[in-house]
Amino acid sequence: MTDTSAARTSSQRWLFTITILAGSFLLFLVQPMVARMALPRLGGAPNVWNSAMLVYQALLLGGYAYAHFIGRFALKTQGIIHVVVLVLGGLTLPLALADLDAPAPGLEALWVPWLFLLTVGPAFFAVSAQAPLIQRWFAAHPQAGNPYPLYAASNLGSFGGLLAYPLLAEPLFSIGQQSLFWTIGYGLLILLVASAVFARRDVSAPAAEVSAEANEDQPQTGWKTIALWLALSAVPSGLMLSTTTFLTTDIMAMPLLWVIPLGLYLLSFSIAFAEKRAIAAVFVFLAPVVLLVDGSVAMFAAGRADLLAAAASIILLFVVAVALHSRLYESRPPASQLTKFYLIMSAGGALGGLFTALIAPIVFDWTWEHPLLILGAAALLPLGPWKRLIGNRFSNPRMALILLSVALLIVFNASLMIFQSSLADSQLSAGQWAALLGILLLAIVFAARRWSYVLGCFALLLSLGGLANLQMSAEGMRERSYFGIYSLREEPDGDRLLMHGTTIHGVQREGEEASRSPTAYYGPSSGVGRSLLMADAMFGSDARVGVVGLGVGTLACYKQPEQDWTFFEIDPVVLEYSENGEFTYLSDCAPDSPTVIGDARLELEKMSADSFDILVIDAFSSDAIPLHLLTLEALDIYLRAIPDDGLLVMHISNNYIRLEPVIAQLAASRGLTARVRSDGEEQENELFASSWVALSRDPSRVQALVDEGGWNELEEPEGQVWTDDYASILPYLVWKNFL
């Protein structure tokens, strides 16, 4: 190549950077977009996003394998092939959800990935090969420089795409507009790729050969190194998904929360693969301490609906991912093996996703994947700085063994005592927090040796909640399905609770008479209780009632002998708690009432119009209301299911989102009369705070409730009405409750 062409090559680094940024931006903008597109079909279960991520990782692996395979051809041939693949992928645009029949109960774990694959597969596959291909083309000239920092640019673009969706795309554009704009971006990307190929038109040899000649003395990668690359890729990927499960279970299944762990995961690559290593070095130094402290805090706070656990999990994910990816970068091969390196990285990410999204929900009854991945990170984190700082003080191996073993015993027993004392009082005293902090500071000494560090992490995870969760698993008090984790809890007074994640989904008292009394959010003074108690007065003794969301069946005990009731429940595991006698509301009060298994929107749509006089919407995924049940299309389905004078009652309790203005806007859009009743806690009667909205096309129905007292006007409608095509929660977030 002439000096002129070499100069042109080096001056066009910006083109390759922009092409990589654009491809990665589109790639990760489309992920939450398609997941949001699928919400009306799939509901709000956290595993929906994990299933989507599993598909994306599999497609990414396929794209990286394709990039590695075509690297054997001349660069011009590679360019032609890839442009053709991009054009073929573009034939499936604009994106639209694949038309598939609903899955049979229990087959969601297979059906959901298949839906995502058919919807976005071709286009995603074509774009997924961008990063390794563009880097390899850039490195085709020996004077182009180190191509690996371009991977940092790739992940910066990915991070930008993720942020752009909840902050810009979702609030400003409908799903149809988002898909159209993404298609336009895809077309521009094809032009950029063609420009990148043209910029390397003077390179006649295969990129693999050029790079190989420059690095011909480099040894080939051994299986131990490949295994290390796989592990260093798999653990952060798995941690990202297990952290996502926690966030979307206990707040709300929405893209804003989906993208936080994924965004930080991608940002970790940008830091770890940066050419300047100072920031990465800081993360590597801090990671062993963060893993010990935040891993312990996350385990300790798990099951308490504590935002401290969420914050600890997010910080742990980010710092540990940077540290592990930094180690991955330090072990990178020469540019001649670039696509092979990224292919193995992608395979590791897919393995982590496969373990967390598909295997763990089937094998484990709790989120055991999270502590297991923390231990995996403990075995992989670079400990060099700490070994030099602490390990050198243990010059005598025998003495080091004794002292570290004693420290392990002290840490385990002391932290176990603190955890057990916290069971009686959910809030730790200042002294207990100080003691826990002291224990964690002592635990840092474990970083002197790899074996003691892994055992120290294990001891902390075991003592600060692991043993308690193992006991629950051994006693068979917990079940896990695609839609969540359920656990039974026996109170000292004999009451039985069903927990979904960290949220109580129902309480049944001990004793024959008490066991039929509605509790929790469903007491006689609650909005739903008042509504159902007036069913006979409003609709006659043969009133027809539909209930979306079975829970433990508490509402069944409002049923009167001549009334006709139907329950809707998406998860067969929830119904089993009533069928096997764990909770007896259903068998005692409504033994002949059917329970329809499936997504309520889809099942109600199948039923005849005017099937119910009163329809109750009480569907929660842990503490989160599935967004697809709060759209205008969902409301139309509910209104179709009741006559013109029918009553719709919706449970809208939520600590993090103001749903009253959303419901008010929905009511206004259909000319409905609506009122809200909000009750506080009643400890003596075991009633929880709740908010219920009553809506009807007939104002007299709602007025009959208002005359009984306790019902108020909703907040003023705000913003654009939520639809399947458009919904944004940003304007309604209660930010103070996140602190």
pTM: predicted TM-score of the whole model, two decimal places: 0.81
Q: Give the pLDDT mean for 293-307.
A: 73
DSSP state of 674: E
Residue 307 has pLDDT above 70, yes or no: no
Q: In a 3-state reduction of DSSP, which class is residue 282?
A: helix
Q: Between 574 and 13, name the one with better pLDDT.
A: 574
**Which band of pLDDT confidence, cut at 50, 70 and 90, is reported for residue 334?**
confident
The number of beta carbons lying within 10 Å of the beta carbon of residue 228 is 18
| Structure confidence by residue, pLDDT tens digits, 340-378 | 898 999 999 999 988 988 888 888 888 889 999 999 999
> For the domain 522-738, what is the CATH superfamily, name and number?
Vaccinia Virus protein VP39 (3.40.50.150)
Question: How many Cα atoms sit within 13 Å of 513 on the Cβ side?
Answer: 0
Q: Is the pLDDT of residue 453 over 60?
A: yes
CA–CA distance, 652 with 692 (Å, rounded to integer): 6
* Closest by Cα among 721, 719, 578, 690 to 625: 690
Phi, psi of 614 (to 5 degrees): -125, 130
Q: Which residue has the higher pLDDT, 364 or 646?
A: 646
Q: Compute the average pLDDT of residues 480-508.
A: 82
- Residue 356 is classified by DSSP as I
How confident is the model over 460-473, as a mean pLDDT?
A: 88
Three-state SS at 396? coil
Q: What is the pLDDT of residue 611?
A: 96
Q: Nearest to residue 200, comparing CAs of 140, 255, 258? A: 140
Window from 236-245, 620-629, 690-699 with minimum mean pLDDT: 620-629
| Cα–Cα distance measured from residue 569 to residue 548, given in angstroms and rounded to the nearest whole number | 6
Distance (Å, whole) CA 270 – CA 326: 10
**pLDDT at residue 211 tops 50:** no
Query: What are φ and ψ of residue 490, in 5° steps?
Result: -95, 125
Return the domain boundaries, the chain.
Answer: 3-209+216-359+366-382, 385-475, 522-738
What is residue 335's DSSP assignment?
Answer: G
Exposure on the CB side of residue 33, measured as CA atoms within 13 A: 31
Average pLDDT over residues 130-150: 79
| 681 DSSP 8-state letter | -
pLDDT at position 397, please? 77
Residue 280: pLDDT band with limits 50, 70, 90: very high
The answer, yes or no, to whether residue 205 has pLDDT greater than 70, is no
Contacts of 402 (CB under 8 A, 6+ apart): none
- Distance between CA atoms of residues 95 and 77, nearest Å: 29
CB contact at 8 A, 262 and 245: no
Tens-digit pLDDT profile for residues 311-326: 888 899 999 999 999 9
Percentage, residues of the chain above pLDDT 90: 40
pLDDT at 150: 81
Give the model's pLDDT for residue 257. 65
**3-state secondary structure string, 211-276?**
HHHHCCCCCCCCHHHHHHHHHHHHHHHHHHHHHHHHHHHHCCCCHHHHHHHHHHHHHHHHHHCCCC
Are 124 and 93 in contact by the 8 Å Cβ rule? The answer is: no
Average pLDDT over residues 455-475: 88
Neighbours of 185 (CB within 10 A): 17
Angle between helices 175-199 and 108-128 (to 10 degrees): 40
CA 307 to chain CA mean position, Å? 15
Distances (CA, A) of 568 to 358, 549, 668: 26, 6, 27
* pLDDT above 70 (res 433): yes
User: Which of 19-28, 472-481, 555-564, 622-631 shows the lowest mean pLDDT across its residues?
Assistant: 622-631
In CATH terms, 3-209+216-359+366-382 corresponds, of 1.10.10.60, 1.10.3720.10, 2.60.40.10, 1.20.1250.20, to: 1.20.1250.20
Q: What is the pLDDT of residue 237?
A: 94
Higher-pLDDT residue of 253 and 386 is 386
Whose CA is closest to 501, among 36, 39, 49, 46? 46
Instruction: Give me the pLDDT at residue 43, please.
Output: 60
Residue 735: is its pLDDT beyond 80? no
Q: Confidence class of residue 252 from pLDDT cuts 50, 70 and 90? A: very low
Mean pLDDT value of segment 476-498: 84
Three-state secondary structure call for residue 646: coil
Residue by residue, DSSP assigns 103-161 as PPTT-HHHHHHHHHHHHHHHHHHHHHTHHHHHHHHHTTSTTS--STHHHHHHHHHHHHH
Region 109-119: mean pLDDT is 84
pLDDT band at 204 (very low <50, low <70, confident <90, very high): low
Convert 148-183 to b/e letters by CB count within 10 Å (16 or more is b). bbbbbbbbbbbbbbbbbbbeebbbebbbeebbeebb
400-429 pLDDT tens trace: 788 888 888 988 888 888 888 776 665 667
Q: Are 222 and 594 in contact (CB under 8 A)?
A: no
Average pLDDT, the chain: 85
The pLDDT-based confidence of 208 (bands split at 50, 70, 90) is very low
Q: Please report the pLDDT score of residue 319 as a whole number.
A: 96
Residue range 39-49: mean pLDDT, rounded: 66
CA torsion 373-375-381-385 (nearest 10°) is: 150
Question: What was the pLDDT predicted at 535?
Answer: 95
Task: Note the pLDDT of residue 739.
Answer: 57
Residues 6 or more apart whose Cβ sits within 8 Å of residue 84: none
Please count the residues of the chain.
739
pLDDT at 385 over 60: yes
The answer, yes or no, to whether residue 144 has pLDDT greater than 70, is: no
Query: Bridge partners of 567?
Result: 547, 595
pLDDT at residue 621 greater than cutoff 70? no
Q: Averaging pLDDT over each range in 72-81, 146-155, 324-333, which range is the top one?
A: 324-333
Highest mean pLDDT among 44-58, 143-157, 597-611: 597-611
What pLDDT does residue 511 have?
78
pLDDT for residue 186:
96
- CA dihedral 636→637→642→648, nearest 10 degrees, is -70
Question: Do 129 and 135 meet the contact criterion of CB atoms below 8 Å apart?
Answer: no
> Comparing 3-209+216-359+366-382 with 522-738, is the CATH topology the same?
no
Rounded to an integer, the average pLDDT of 147-157 is: 81
CA distances from 93 to 26, 40, 130, 180 (A): 13, 21, 18, 8
